[in-house]
Amino acid sequence: MKILKTIAYIVVGLFVLMILIGIFAPAPKKTTPKYEIVSEEDVSYQGCKRGVYRVVMDDNSSDKDIQSVMQLVIDDKKVQWDNVTVNVFKNSEKDNAKNMGYTLGQKEYGTCE
Three-class DSSP category at 61: coil
Range of the domain at 97: 35-110
Residue among 67, 48, 64 nearest 111 (CA)? 48
Per-residue pLDDT tens digits for 50-94? 999 999 999 999 999 999 999 999 999 999 999 999 999 999 988
In a domain, residue 45? The reply is yes
Domain count for the chain: 1
Alpha helix (H) residue ranges in 1-113: 2-24, 63-77
- As a whole number of angstroms, the distance between CA 97 and CA 87 comes to 9
Would you state the pLDDT for residue 99? 80
In a domain, residue 25? The reply is no
CB atoms inside a 10 Å sphere around CB 65: 20
Per-residue pLDDT tens digits for 24-59? 777 777 788 999 999 999 999 999 999 999 999 999
Confidence label for 7 from pLDDT (cuts 50, 70 and 90) = confident
Three-class DSSP category at 46: coil
pTM of the model: 0.72
In a domain, residue 26? The reply is no
In a domain, residue 71? The reply is yes
In a domain, residue 86? The reply is yes
